[in-house]
Structure 1
Amino acid sequence: MLLIQCACCAAELGLSSGKKCGRCSTRYCGPECQVQHWKEGGHDTLCKKIKKSGGAEQYNANKKYTEAVTVAAEKCADDTKGQTCYICTQALHWKTKEGLVRGCACRGTSGVAHVSCLAEQAKILVAEAVENNLDWKVKNERWVRWCECSMCKQGYHGLVKCALGWACWKTYLGRPETDKIYVMAMNTLGSGLDETGRHAEALVVKKAELSMQLRRGAPASSILAAQTNLANTYQYLGRLEHSLQLERDVYDGSLRLLGEEHRDTIISVNNLAATLFKLKRFEEAKSLLRKIMPVARRVLGENYELTIAMRMSYAQSLYNDEGATLDDLHEAVTLLEENERIARRVFGGAHPLAMQMEHDLKKARAKLRAHEIAEAMLATTLGDA
């Protein structure tokens, strides 16, 4: 599903064109490339190994997962030095020999673990729900463990989120398209890729997710969610007009289907405002955010990540607007100062949201100072006149 290039010449194949190796399902644009790859590309020695792993898609996912875990552990090495996994209590994993990671809001000695231990916990919880035929509310609650720390209850971020995305995908990719868990795994992988800036790869995943949801006749809410995921990646890639059209459709659809106070509707407003901001359509972005921020605070709470992100987006729209008044800049600085304190308390200073707000606060303060100096100079000049 996600291997969309010829293994020999790297030509784009889309989701269905080309041909596959009859043994291991490695994809090619045609028989010429397949023969060449067998003779010159090393496929003659890899074919049996790939088949034994479960086929080309599984082999690729296993490989990407191992690479992602290694990179994440290396990145977290200083933070986790001298500590042990809170799940298996070992510093070095007994089987994989991987190092430790921490990519949540935990601090001190909390939240340190091996990616494989986190993945195993999530896998067991979901498997129990499936085997006992529990309802989807419970399954969704269990699924959260793939994305959220069980200790601080905050989402994973950065390289750890990406590694868990690959862990999730390699666990469930053998399920049929019609299985909701297969779709959820694809979504988790796409989010993890976006988290580490691998947006071109995420775009492949999210296009496949939307196409699959349409094929299987998924509910309107699932289609809206897939469109939202795709729009986010278009935004990351700078394809803002593509993103804007999708986000308008999602916002309108969410209002009709779910109502203003639903979490997904609030998310759709935040996504739409973010794209409007990047297009420098600040007035429209501010208007949307003014309308929905009180709803987010009431429904989700002041400390919820989305509420904090929306307040940050509103402050960004205030101070980046070329027509910003002195009052606008004061409001932006005050809002960012309050928001940064909340973010640091809830997520810790290393969280991307807290770090982004620190960056925004410096810029907003600088712009405020420049505006105050300019007004003071103007007042002096007029007074002298």
Structure 2
Amino acid sequence: MILTQCAVCATELGLSLGKKCGRCSTRYCGPECQKQHWEAGGHDQLCKPIKKAGGAEQYNANKRYTEAVAEAVEACAEDTKGQTCYICTQALHWKTKEGLVRGCSCRGTAGLAHVSCLAEQAKILFAEAEENNKPLDPAWARWHTCGLCKQNHHGVVRGALGWACWKTYVGRPEGDWNRINAMNELGTGLSAAEHHEDALAVREAELSTRRRLGDSEESILTVQGNLAVTYVVIGRHEEALNLYRDVYSGRVRLNGEEHLTTLIAANNYALSLNELKRFEEAKPLLRRTIPVARRVLEDGNDTMLKMRWTYAQTLYKDDGATLDDVREAVTTLEDTGRIARRVLGGAHPTTTGIEDHLRVARAILRAREAPPTSG
């Protein structure tokens, strides 16, 4: 359930409070708001179209998907001007008339597509994997991964694909795992598009749903980690730190220290410590886990890059940093930035983030190395 507020007064209803329209399932806090919405809010005109679309959740998903596609197309307009979709070979989508996007690590004329084409491709590939008893995870990954460069989509393109995935599976029963996984894709997409308050509602709904259905510890840890990310960006840092600590310890116990998910959890935990300026706790954590990451990941792996980026921050942001600490931070960011630019491209958020921090670290280093002025 994504719609968790009264359609009239926006009172938070969670997953079970309030009441629903008997025809279309639009949610209200009580009969007063429902009556007001019917008489003055236009629901008398919308009720049948909402029901025809499949109910309030499906209607909302379709509407938000269209808005997200328009946002992504506008953001990519300069990059995609005069190009065609690599899937359907057209400039405008034949049915929706939408323009092109690109939100991966493809360069030049590669990777340009319509969100609708990307979504249809992901839907078909996953359906084929289900039907033919093939591994499902690689097929599901196409909801967020480019089929050409194999890198994750990012930004508003990831957001549009999140809505595409949710609108595809929202009509399934609540306990259908594809529906629940689609909720996860939506939460991640909303975060990538920086719609963080919307992402928070989705993350909390997903965690509640998975717990109610008795999902595995693996899945619960994943959702807790995602929820912690959202807590960070909206400023709820202590809540995020508590979740990150629990997720990291859970991952070590469940998956072992060399597992990718454990390394991601370690980096997230360190980032949360950094946010609260607890650098002396973050440094030993990363000094212990980065060598593990080097054993199992390639230098260009996104998690490897992010762990080194985080480590550099623990060095130069600390008010007690030595000159050698700042120098090590600059060297680490220079090397990591070169690898990120080569593997991910200069426009990728990981690359630009590393380079932004490199500029700051270099400025601090210049100031520390400058000879004292005579008074």
TM-score between both structures, scaled by the size of structure 2: 0.98
Alpha-carbon contact 2:122-2:142 (below 8 Å) kept: yes
- Of 307, 327, 338, the residue aligned with 2:304 is 307
Equivalents in 2 of 1:256, 1:79: separation in Å?
45
Q: What is the aligned partner in structure 1 of residue 335 from structure 2? A: 338
Post-superposition offset of 1:176? 2.1
Q: What is the aligned partner in structure 2 of residue 211 from structure 1? A: 208
Equivalents in 2 of 1:9, 1:178: separation in Å?
29
- The amino acid across from 1:63 in the alignment is K
Post-superposition offset of 1:178? 2.3
Once the two structures are superposed, residues 247-269 of structure 1 have per-residue CA deviations (whole angstroms, 9 ceiling, x without a partner) of: 11111111111110111111110
Equivalents in 1 of 2:287, 2:179: separation in Å?
37
Local SS of the residue matching 1:377 = coil
Q: What is the aligned partner in structure 2 of residue 365 from structure 1? A: 362
Equivalents in 1 of 2:82, 2:327: separation in Å?
45
- The amino acid across from 1:361 in the alignment is L
User: Does 2:60 match 1:60?
Assistant: yes
Post-superposition offset of 1:69? 0.3
Post-superposition offset of 1:298? 1.7
- The amino acid across from 1:248 in the alignment is R
Please, which moves more after superposition, 109-118 or 29-38?
29-38
Identity %: 65
Post-superposition offset of 1:322? 0.7
- Of 240, 258, 262, the residue aligned with 2:259 is 262
Post-superposition offset of 1:341? 0.8
- Of 136, 139, 155, the residue aligned with 2:136 is 139
User: Does 2:366 match 1:377?
Assistant: no
Q: What is the aligned partner in structure 2 of residue 251 from structure 1? A: 248
Q: What is the aligned partner in structure 2 of residue 190 from structure 1? A: 187
Q: What is the aligned partner in structure 2 of residue 16 from structure 1? A: 16
Post-superposition offset of 1:5? 1.1
Equivalents in 1 of 2:106, 2:329: separation in Å?
29
- The amino acid across from 1:212 in the alignment is T
Matches for 1:60-99 after TM superposition, within 5 Å: 60-99=60-99
Q: What is the aligned partner in structure 2 of residue 349 from structure 1? A: 346
Matches for 1:161-200 after TM superposition, within 5 Å: 161-200=158-197
Once the two structures are superposed, residues 205-252 of structure 1 have per-residue CA deviations (whole angstroms, 9 ceiling, x without a partner) of: 111111111111111111111111111111111111111111111111
- The amino acid across from 1:80 in the alignment is T
Equivalents in 1 of 2:372, 2:6: separation in Å?
64
- The amino acid across from 2:347 in the alignment is A
Once the two structures are superposed, residues 109-153 of structure 1 have per-residue CA deviations (whole angstroms, 9 ceiling, x without a partner) of: 00000000000000001111122333xxx1011011011101111
Once the two structures are superposed, residues 78-133 of structure 1 have per-residue CA deviations (whole angstroms, 9 ceiling, x without a partner) of: 00011100000000111000000000000000000000000000000111112233
User: Does 2:297 match 1:297?
Assistant: no
Q: What is the aligned partner in structure 2 of residue 45 from structure 1? A: 45
Structure 2: give runs of 5+ residues left out of the alignment: none
Alpha-carbon contact 2:7-2:27 (below 8 Å) kept: yes
User: Does 2:237 match 1:237?
Assistant: no
- The amino acid across from 2:247 in the alignment is V
Q: What is the aligned partner in structure 1 of residue 117 from structure 2? A: 117
Local SS of the residue matching 1:76 = helix
Equivalents in 1 of 2:97, 2:269: separation in Å?
43
Alpha-carbon contact 2:306-2:350 (below 8 Å) kept: yes
- The amino acid across from 1:246 in the alignment is L
Runs of 4+ in 1 over 4 A off after TM superposition: none
- The amino acid across from 1:271 in the alignment is N
TM-score between both structures, scaled by the size of structure 1: 0.95
User: Does 2:21 match 1:26?
Assistant: no
Q: What is the aligned partner in structure 2 of residue 282 from structure 1? A: 279
Equivalents in 2 of 1:248, 1:37: separation in Å?
44
Equivalents in 1 of 2:294, 2:314: separation in Å?
19
Alpha-carbon contact 2:2-2:201 (below 8 Å) kept: yes
Local SS of the residue matching 1:358 = helix
Please, which moves more after superposition, 152-161 or 244-253?
244-253
Alpha-carbon contact 2:157-2:193 (below 8 Å) kept: no
- Supply the RMSD in Å over aligned alpha carbons: 1.1
Once the two structures are superposed, residues 2-54 of structure 1 have per-residue CA deviations (whole angstroms, 9 ceiling, x without a partner) of: 11111112211111101000110000111111111111000111110000000
Equivalents in 1 of 2:52, 2:354: separation in Å?
48
- The amino acid across from 1:51 in the alignment is K
- Of 136, 147, 156, the residue aligned with 1:150 is 147
Once the two structures are superposed, residues 322-358 of structure 1 have per-residue CA deviations (whole angstroms, 9 ceiling, x without a partner) of: 1111111111111111111111111111111111111
Alpha-carbon contact 2:8-2:33 (below 8 Å) kept: yes
Local SS of the residue matching 1:303 = coil
Post-superposition offset of 1:177? 2.7
Equivalents in 1 of 2:163, 2:60: separation in Å?
10
Aligned residues: 375
Alpha-carbon contact 2:155-2:194 (below 8 Å) kept: no
